[in-house]
Amino acid sequence: MTDETGDSAGSDEEGPVDERVDGGDGGDSDADAVPDDSEDAPEDLSIDRFHEALEAEERPVATASEVARRLGTTQAAARDALGALVDRGDVDRLDVEADPVVFYPRDWGALASRERVVVFPKRREIVVDRPTQYTRARLSQFANLVDTTGTEPGTRGYLYRIRQEDVWAAPFDDADALVGALRSVLPRRYEHLEAWVRDQWRRAHRFRLYTHADGYVVLEAASENLMGNVADQHLDDDHLRAPISDTEAWVNEDAVAVVKRALYDAGYPVEDDRDLETGDPVEIDLTTELRDYQQTWVDQFLDRKSGVYVGPPGSGKTVAAIATIAAVGGETLILVPSRELADQWREELLEHSTVDPADIGLYHGGTKEVRPVTIATYQIAGMDRHRSLFDSREWGLICFDEAHHVTAPVYSRTAELQSKHRLGLSATPVSETGSEEEIYTLIGGPIGADWDALFEAGFVQEPEVEIRYVPWRDELAESEYAAADGRERRRVAAENPAKIEELRYLLAAHRDKKALVFVEYLDHGNAIADALDAPFISGETPHHERAELFRRFRAEGADAEDAGDDLDVLVVSRVGDEGIDLPNAELAVVASGLGGSRRQGSQRAGRTMRPTGSALVYVLATRGSSEEEFAQRQMRHLGRKGVRVRETNVAE
């Protein structure tokens, strides 16, 4: 089926064909499977391939002819390969008189507990039972984690769905590489699914913006039909000034962001190949050596001229951004969500580059300086009375730290700066409104290694995450919860008094670690701080006091101890969620705040991620309350990124 543009139908997530699925028994999983192309089984047939043949036979034993049929090879080749497995000790054989020889795995437990992948190609869904870390990391590159089931370690099942936007944003150079990644985790080939993926990839390369020799912006379509049936129908008259040819149109420069978003919503992401401004030159060189993956990020950005560095906290996104500033070489505006981050950015610039301190300006509620490299808060930069100061400077690069803030209405005006190089930084560019597409259309596509690759390479320590379900131990609090509703019920569950006892237990069990305790409510934060004899930092804490407490928490070594200057425990509200660099935090405990977003859960877990040492995250959820679901939802996003999450019921 084709639409008027000549492209395969599918601008909606599910076309008419995809709605005709088999019943819930998984009957469509083999509908378009393609057998292996090889005529002979490899001599080093793996035990996993043998397990796959047994699963296909739905028997714990198989003959050589059955294995040959399932693997698409000859009986002789299968017999030889199985003999090699027998010689290695992975498989046993049983010779029965007057019956064929049967083969079975020596380790039955491996067959029962191994990863299983079931594919529903027409629904574009993938169910994985006991997935390996490799499989989860691979799937996170092109699929969306929908749900998880199971509570015991090693038994969790995962449901993934491949959406249009997942294919469009997949970090691959071409459709063949993407399909190769898909095949690497699926049990066999699925022509219908692969064709859909290729079609969606093609859709992401049908429109582009470029700069005409005379300096104006042109929208180019891959065909006359696309220009007439897609662009003309989805763009208003004031978006395009005039047609240039059957496939090109002169774009109103003020409408570039709107054009990109409108075509994205129509199912056609736009490639942005415009000649962007570089701004007045600024003297800055990087003084820190980049890791290989950081250099790859920078190279990809310079090629694309826009993008979002996506990686876990501790992966060095800020250093990569400073390298990008030096490579672009033009005046730069850095937008951040808080004054603390603005101050931190200034310190990072001075530590990792040769920039002149006099060339760095801070523009927020405390000070207002516009310099060649200016660091401003989103809120200030978006105000009308300050906007003209930023518009008057010829910025060569706009850097959006914690890039998800561009999706919030109060900050959205900063995303109109479409004529500049645009760089975003985010560990988890996801918002609860599902508007991650705004990040990619207004700033640029994702750039970065998947989290799991950084864990495996040892660049970032993978955190150990545990959800601990805490019972009610106070009858009055439990009765108050039962009588409450709505937000009040959520608050009572968050402030379950038993959580303080659990906090004391966890901190005592890890008394050698620097710990952050996250809370949602001021009263709860104050109560925990009093119980633990620890400082509480909230939005009401004066800026200078926050800075001093963060400095003391960072203090390490004998000198800090002798001076009585160091802090081992900090209780923090949402001010600790985003970007604050606390590299020596070894333990994070989320005591409340489970009604927040998935991004918030990832950020809090991320406060313990760094290149070396252990990293522990405990999430406390009141058993039998809505916090159970909230905790699982927040941690599910970490699971998608390759982080293992376990769950524990705390004893009554």
Domain boundaries, the chain: 17-30+121-202, 33-111, 205-268, 292-451, 461-649
**How many angstroms from the chain centroid is the CA of residue 453?**
13
> How distant, in Å, are the alpha carbons of 84, 152, 181, 496, 634 from that of 591?
54, 22, 38, 9, 14
Same fold, 292-451 and 461-649: yes
Mean pLDDT, the chain, whole residue set: 79
Mean pLDDT of 255-266: 89
pLDDT at 237: 84
More confident residue, 145 or 36: 145
CA atoms of 129 and 150, how far apart (whole Å): 10
pLDDT at 322: 97
User: In this structure, which topology does domain 33-111 adopt according to CATH?
Assistant: Arc Repressor Mutant, subunit A (1.10.10)
Identify the bridge partners of residue 517 per DSSP, sorted by sequence position: 571, 589
Q: How many CA atoms lie within 13 A of 564 on its CB side?
A: 0
- pLDDT for residue 633 is more than 80: no
Please write the tens of the pLDDT for every residue from 29-80: 444 444 444 444 455 678 878 877 877 766 667 888 888 888 888 888 888 8
Residue 10's pLDDT band (boundaries 50, 70, 90)?
very low
Q: Give residues with Cβ within 8 angstroms of 406, minimum separation 6.
A: 400, 412, 414, 415, 424, 438, 439, 442, 443
Both tokens of 38, joined, read: 């090889």
* Contact (Cβ atoms closer than 8 angstroms) between residue 469 and residue 621: yes
**CA torsion through residues 527, 528, 530, 536, sign:** negative
Identify the bridge partners of residue 251 per DSSP, sorted by sequence position: 240
Q: Which CATH code is given to the segment(s) 461-649?
A: 3.40.50.300
Q: pTM for the complete prediction?
A: 0.64
* Contact (Cβ atoms closer than 8 angstroms) between residue 311 and residue 427: yes
CA atoms of 323 and 288, how far apart (whole Å): 9
List b or e across 366-385, with b for residues whose CB sees 16 or more CB atoms inside 10 angstroms: eeeebbbbbbbbbbbbbeee
CA atoms of 17 and 23, how far apart (whole Å): 15
Please write the tens of the pLDDT for every residue from 472-527: 988 898 899 899 888 888 889 999 999 999 999 999 999 888 888 988 888 999 99
Q: Which CATH code is given to the segment(s) 292-451?
A: 3.40.50.300
CA atoms of 263 and 375, how far apart (whole Å): 32
